[in-house]
Amino acid sequence: MENEPLIDETLKSELEALYQAADRHYHGLAHIKAMLALATEYRQLLDDPEAVEAAIWFHDAIYDSRAKDNEAKSAQLAEKKLAGRVDPRRLARIAAMINATATHQLPLRDEKTLNDAALLLDMDLAILGAEPAVFDAYEKAVRSEYGWVEEPMWRAGRADVLKSFLARAHIFYTIKFRDRFEAQARENLGRSLQGLQDQS
């Protein structure tokens, strides 16, 4: 059971199909591949690299911009698809990491989960610290996913999200990601917030 890859080729194909849906402008395959690349780069810091990779593959598997329970449904899908491939405690850690991406708060679990969840959440938010042109493309892509939201409501809601990140003592949980992305992320978020407020 433990020797088989958590995400085999069949499951990978199923998940890739979900991530290639037409309404995914940001939360698609490119986002997953960017996170997997970071997981490879920081693999030595992970307690359970394969579990983190599984959490990355599943964390946005269910995505509907009108819904509030995407992460919970994605975690349920992981539990269903990975049942029998992984022991229940490890599967619970994977589900906890997926659920943590809903609020970007660390799950209250054991140290192993906390370390890996912190790195997973930082990988998920690494786009915030991208160079300005890449960050701006991300912002446009997210706006496209919420195309059904009228502009004034979008500006107010998005401004609240950006303010909540800027209000944190640290956007990133780990020193490695803070050193690499924090300053640029604050600059990007501040510029984006200013733009939203200028339009209001």
pLDDT tens track for 18-35: 999 999 999 999 999 999
Q: Which pLDDT band holds residue 161 (cuts at 50, 70, 90)?
A: very high
Supply the pLDDT for residue 3. 57
- What residue spans define the domains of the chain? 9-112, 128-199
Neighbour tally for 77: CB within 10 Å: 18
Q: In angstroms, rounded to a whole number, what is the distance separating the alpha carbons of residues 42 and 141?
A: 27
Whether residue 200 has pLDDT greater than 80: no
Confidence of residue 113 (pLDDT cuts 50, 70, 90): confident
Average pLDDT over residues 69-90: 95
Length of the chain: 200
d(CA 130, CA 111) in angstroms, rounded, equals: 29
Q: In this predicted model, what pLDDT tens digit does every residue of 87-111 receive, in sequence order?
A: 999 999 999 999 999 999 998 777 8
Distances (CA, A) of 68 to 62, 64, 103, 109, 171: 11, 8, 11, 23, 22
Q: Quote the mean pLDDT of the chain.
A: 94
Note the Cα 19 to chain centre separation in Å. Answer: 13
Residue 191 pLDDT: 97
Q: Where does 42-150 have alpha helices with state H?
A: 49-58, 70-82, 88-100, 111-125, 132-145
pLDDT band, very low/low/confident/very high, at 170 (cuts 50, 70, 90): very high
Q: How far apart are CA 200 and CA 195, in angstroms?
A: 9
pLDDT grade, residue 197 (50/70/90)? confident
- The whole-angstrom separation of Cα 184 and Cα 76 is 34
pLDDT in tens, 137-148: 999 999 999 999
Amino acid at 65: S
How much of the chain, in percent, has pLDDT values that exceed 70?
Answer: 98
Percent of the chain whose pLDDT exceeds 90: 91
CA–CA dist 157, 167 (Å, integer): 15
pLDDT, tens digit, 9 for 90 and up, residues 178-195? 999 999 999 999 999 999
Q: What is the structure's pLDDT at 1?
A: 43
